[in-house]
Chain A
Amino acid sequence: MYQLMIRQFLRTKTCQLGLILILALGLTGIVIGKQFLNDKEKRVAQTVEKQEEHIARNIKFHGDDLGLLLYYLKFSIVKAHNPLTGLSIGQDDLNPSIQQVKILTLEGQKYDMDLVNPTRLLYGNLDLSFILVYIFPLLIIAFTYNLLSEEEETGTWKMVRVTVKSQVKFLLMKLSLRLFLLVVLMSILYLIAAWVLGIAWEEAFFAFFIVGLLYQLFWFSLSFWITLLKRNSSFNAVVLLSFWLILVMLLPAVINNAITNKYPVPEALTTVIKQRDGYHQKWDTNKKETIEKFYKNYPQFAKYGYPPEEGFNWLWYYTMQHLGDEESRKESNSMRDKVLQRQKMSKQLAKFFPSMHSLLVFNDLAGSSLSNHIHFLQYISNFHENIRLFFYPKIFSQATTVEIDWEQFNPAFYEGRNQPVEWLKILVPLLAGILIFLVLSFLTYQTL
């Protein structure tokens, strides 16, 4: 009988059209992910190649003055290649994954955007995570909204009722057949993605798959409940689509608006003004006072003393630059805290809604979430600090460029957070969602 069911379902137009559509979209999603990764890799390769050239060219021009040379030198920090990003591009199309910094005020450099077409960002990426979160549920709805109602409307249900032992079992069979088809399809897409994007068979990818699977199960359990209500097809279609609309469009939008309005970030604007003023106004003030402030932060350099008040001096110059960061630190930190609060609130609220939860988990697993970016920014700050502390004493002691081993300055690779997959946190919200609708289904069945 199962075989007959499969054959019958495969023959329907909905099934054929749906499967072809989602396969085509899924493949497009994989190609788009691949293009994203390729672009990034190309840029990283160029950055690595150019850094050496950049350093060599500037040494040629300004090699006689280390202070001036470092005014020009840019050091690159690169987010290491993570093929999972191809599955879920997340916020990585917007936040740059290559950043270049000079040893000048960091706050003026760290937030530099990449060049992106804002309209493209508005419509978003057609990546596999989008297909999984948006399109698969639609297909589930299309496959299941008339699971029972169609039989009733065409009059076949009466016949079924007398031929099968258990009606629920029959419905579950029909449902499981659709589930089976979609899971197979999803697995094929995952396999192709793993092969095309070069994803390793590791825990994160496995988690990616399990989340996708449970998310589909959630929609099936919801759909099963609606089916058991025994209403007509139109009712089912409208109700299921309303659920979809609420879960993947309205609620996320409502929550995102709420978070944006609850935590506005004017500190960003204050930070950039403060870092500018913190540095530039020092040009007009007493050199000794400026440098005293610097030595308070870095007592190890106090031995370099104070330059004369008249004239230009690199020690003074880099001190001024550093004070730009120092004097905007408060605002910069509170900007970061606000962003972290946004992240925290998003995650907490998303726990209650499988659509949002799945997308945020996908982004986290792929290293393309907001918290990943904040972590990357922190890495940039540390990198900047280390490289400054390396060069400061050399500049202050008027070392020559020859004394420095420039070959060590390859671009720095940021390897991500390398956090273990938090299985419980990831799975519980989805399992809870599935359970709720299974219980509802059970209760509905009892009252029938």
Chain B
Amino acid sequence: MSKEVLLLIIRQFWKTTFKFGEIFFLIGLMGVLLIYAVYSGVSYHDQNHFRTDHQEKARESWEGNPDKHPHRMAHFGTFAFRLKHPLSIFDFGIESYTGNAVFLEAHRQNMVNFPEAGFSTGLLRFGELSMGMILQVILPLIIFFIGYTSVAADRENGTLKILLTQGAGWKEILFGRSIGLCLIALLFVFPFMIITAFLLISESHPTGDQWIRLGLLTVTYIIFIIVLSLITVSVSAKSQSSKVALVKLLGFWLVMVVLLPRTAQSLGAYFHPSPDKLAFRAAIEEEVIEYGDSHNPNDPHFAALRDSVLKANNVDSVSKLPFNYGGLIMSEGERISTEIYNKHHERLLNIYRNQNKLSRWMAVVNPYLAVKNLSMALCGTDFASYAIFQNQAEEYRYKLAQRMNELQMKFISSKRVSGSEGKVHVVNRSEWAAFPDFKHEFSNIGSTLRSEVISIVPLVIWVLLFLWFILYISQKSTVV
């Protein structure tokens, strides 16, 4: 392959593209969309202010409690508000459909409530406009539009013959056009990345982890445009006329962006039915009761526990124990119910993962899905990030409940067998502030990448496949 010819062809492709007004119209259109997406992304992310404010408010009233029985505090509980990842400005992912606030109290795993979708009309279902969405959905169309004539038009008007007779090989033409198209597409992508970097700096103090994410995001979209450019040029080269090339590319886009994702997800859900809240709760309750019901005085599990505790302490009644027996019982009950809940919850998440599996595996045949999934994951707005929040909230809830049980065992008299009201059997309020507040931690890039192998590998394969395909058609192609 001659380098000079290649450069010549790249330059020529640029020149012809910029000769027509369409490209400036497209640049203008992307500019407008970009500005709007930035505005939306920033406003969405600003919801974090509400959340941190409310986290503080909830904390203030937690710490503001007077001396009281720790079990009252276990039910006073607190809230976990989910924070948006700084990069959620770029790609909203599933954020609008995930809950944002969960009440954390003893013995009870509450639902994470108030997803944005709950306050939204059916319009939300048309999709949302984020920077990521523009690059995933609109950019392919723009690349197809700029490139569909790249080879087919030359074939139609006969310039292809001239090019080939003047010493350019098929390889140079196809690669030259692909590279030219890639470079133009890069023009569209870079502003997005630069603005995101700028927003990261201005909105927060970006960590190394976030910079790595942004870097990988950039690489992801560059690979995406390489794949799309190669597809465009190959289709254009294989088509008899530019009209046919355009129709093929538009059809490909429709299948890739509109039809496959929704169908795959619907089928996934069809084949892996998931339980609703009532069935889920009922199954847990049943198992907890079977294991040991701390509310039932004759429950064998708890009766055995009581007998062994009494024996170990050489007393005949729980009120003579050196610690508050109610605290111990609740601590044991909490341990059992949490273990069972976690088991069921993990099972539920696995059903969801199975539902998602089909659309994730579709990445193998659909570069759009590979990029979409990877982009969500890198922006901390994917399913895995949400599961991490749920687990952190649950872990904190468990710690809170157990800390209150500990305080009860330690500071509440063993004479107080039941009930938690009143001002006599209480714990000093300094204990409330001593228990740290909930803090939502984002996952690190390592674990994100490990869970996204399924999106990364297909992307690499797509690039290799189309490089091979271009080489292949450069040997097989005919002039007419």
Residue ranges of A at the interface with B (Cβ–Cβ < 8 Å): 25, 28, 31-32, 35, 39, 43, 46-47, 50, 61, 90-91, 94-96, 98, 100, 108, 111-126, 130, 134-135, 138, 153, 232-234, 237-238, 241, 245, 248-250, 252-257, 259-261, 264-266, 268-270, 272-273, 276-277, 280-281, 283-284, 310-312, 338-339, 342-343, 346-347, 350, 355-356, 359-360, 362-363, 369-370
In the docked arrangement, what's the CA distance between A233 and B250, Å?
Answer: 13
Asked whether, in the complex, the Cβ of A112 is within 8 Å of the Cβ of B277, the reply is yes
Residue among B47, B72, B112 with max Cβ neighbours from chain A (10 Å) = B47
Q: Given A39-B273, A123-B261, A272-B101 in contact, is the A234-B242 Cβ separation under 8 Å?
A: yes
User: A115-B280, A121-B94, A122-B94 given as contacts; is B123 within 8 A of A284 (CB)?
Assistant: no
Question: Distance in Å from the Cβ of A97 to the closest Cβ of chain B?
Answer: 10
Q: Which residues of A contact B473 (CB under 8 A)?
A: none
Q: Mark B188-213, 1 if CB is under 8 A from A, else 0.
A: 00000000000000000000000000
Contact B279 A43 (CB under 8 A): yes
A433 CB to nearest chain B CB (Å): 17
Task: Verify if B247 is at the interface (C-beta below 8 Å from A).
Answer: yes
CA distance A370 to B125 in the complex (A): 12
The reply to whether B119 and A265 contact each other, CB–CB distance below 8 Å, is: yes
**Contact between chains at B113 and A112 (CB < 8 Å):** yes
Residues on the A chain within 8 Å of B77, using CB: 276
Interface assignment of B127: CB less than 8 Å from any CB of chain A: yes
Q: Point out the residues of chain B lying under 8 angstroms from A91, CB to CB.
A: 117, 120-122
Name the interface size band of chain B.
35 or more
Most buried by B among A47, A120, A370: A120
Cβ-based interface call for B1 (8 A): no
* A268–B421 CA distance with the chains assembled, in angstroms: 29
Chain A's closest residue to B123 (CB) is: A256
Is B440 close to A, CB under 8 A? Answer: no
Residues of A within 8 A of B61 (CB): 273, 276-277, 281
Inter-chain CA distance A270–B57, complex, in Å, is 9
User: Quick one: which of A50, A98, A238, A338 has the most chain B CB within 10 A?
Assistant: A238
Bound CA–CA A138/B94 (angstroms): 26
Tell me, yes or no, whether B215 is within 8 Å of chain A by CB.
no
A42 to chain B, nearest CB (A): 9
Question: A117 and B352: CB pair below 8 A?
Answer: yes
A65 to chain B, nearest CB (A): 13
**Across-interface contacts of A241 in B (CB, < 8 A):** 141, 250
Are B54's CB and A270's CB within 8 A?
Answer: yes
Q: How far is the CB of A355 from chain B (nearest CB, A)?
A: 8
Q: A254-B129, A264-B50 are in contact. List 4 more A-B contacts (CB 8 A).
A: A118-B383, A260-B116, A347-B121, A356-B126
- From the candidates B117, B129, B280, name the one contacting A121 in the complex (CB within 8 A): B117
Check A280–B72 contact: CB distance below 8 A. yes
CA–CA, A387 and B118, complex, Å: 26
A-B contact pairs, 5 of them (CB 8 A): A96-B277, A112-B111, A120-B269, A238-B145, A261-B43
Tell me the bound Cα distance from A269 to B117 in angstroms: 15
B383, A312: Cβ atoms under 8 Å?
no
Question: In the complex the two chains form, is A253's CB within 8 Å of B274's CB?
Answer: no
A contacts with B: majority SS: helix
Measured between beta carbons, the chain B residues less than 8 angstroms from A31 are 270
Nearest 9 pairs of A and B residues by beta carbon: A252-B126, A123-B265, A253-B129, A266-B50, A118-B97, A121-B97, A346-B121, A261-B43, A117-B352
- A284 touches which of B68, B112, B250, B352 (Cβ 8 Å): B68
Q: Which residues of A contact B98 (CB under 8 A)?
A: 118
- Chain A residues, Cβ within 8 Å of B12: none
Q: How far is the CA of A169 from the CA of B433 in the complex (A)?
A: 82
Would B126 and A256 count as touching, CB distance under 8 A?
yes
In the bound complex, how far is the Cα of B145 from the Cα of A116, in angstroms?
Answer: 38
Residue in chain B with minimal CB distance to A262 = B43
- Which listed residue, A28, A47, A121, A369, touches B263 by the CB 8 Å rule? A28
Decide: B68 and A283 in contact? CB cutoff 8 A. Answer: yes
Say whether B386 faces chain A, with CB atoms less than 8 Å apart: yes
Q: A123-B266, A270-B54 are in contact. Are A114 and B277 (CB under 8 A)?
A: yes
How far is it, in angstroms, between the C-alpha of A359 and the C-alpha of B127 when the chains are bound?
13
From A119, A310, A362, give the contact of B383 (CB < 8 A).
A119
Known contacts A248-B126, A254-B36, A312-B421, A260 near B279 by CB under 8 Å = no
**A121 to chain B: closest residue by CB:** B97
List B contacts of A250 (CB < 8 A): 33, 129
Q: Which residues 49-79 in B have Cβ within 8 Å of A in the complex?
A: 50-51, 53-54, 57-58, 61, 65-66, 68, 72, 75-77, 79
| A311 proximity list for chain B (CB < 8 A) | 421-422
Contacts of A47 in B (CB 8 A): 278
Give the docked Cα–Cα distance between A284 and B115 (Å): 33
CB contacts (< 8 Å) of B336 on chain A: these are: none
Cβ < 8 Å to A, chain B residues 23-52? 33, 36, 39-40, 43-44, 47, 50-51
Give complex CA distance A100, B262 in Å: 32
- How distant is A307 from chain B, measured CB to nearest CB, in Å? 12
Q: B137 interface residue, CB < 8 Å from A? A: yes
Min CB gap B77→A, angstroms:
7
Is B348 part of the binding interface, using a Cβ–Cβ cutoff of 8 Å? yes
B236 within 8 A of A: no
Within 8 A of A (CB), among B239-284: 242-243, 246-247, 250, 254, 258-259, 261-266, 268-270, 273-280, 282
Q: Which residue of the partner chain A has the closest CB to B66?
A: A284
CB distance from B232 to the nearest CB of A (A): 14
What are the residues of chain B within 8 A of A347 when measuring CB–CB? 121
Set of chain B residues within 8 Å of A284, measured between Cβ atoms: 65-66, 68, 423
The answer to whether the Cβ of B408 comes within 8 Å of any Cβ in the partner chain is no
CB pair B258 A134 closer than 8 Å: yes
Residues of A within 8 A of B246 (CB): 234, 237-238
CB distance from B87 to the nearest CB of A (A): 17
In the complex, the answer to whether A46 meets B126 with C-beta atoms within 8 Å is: no
Q: Mark B121-147, 1 if CB is under 8 A from A, else 0.
A: 111111111000100011001000100
**Cα-based distance from A311 to B424 in the complex (angstroms):** 11
B99 within 8 A of A: yes
What is the CA–CA distance of A243 and B259 in the complex, to the nearest angstrom? 18
- Taking a contact as CB atoms under 8 Å apart, the answer to whether B50 and A234 are in contact is no
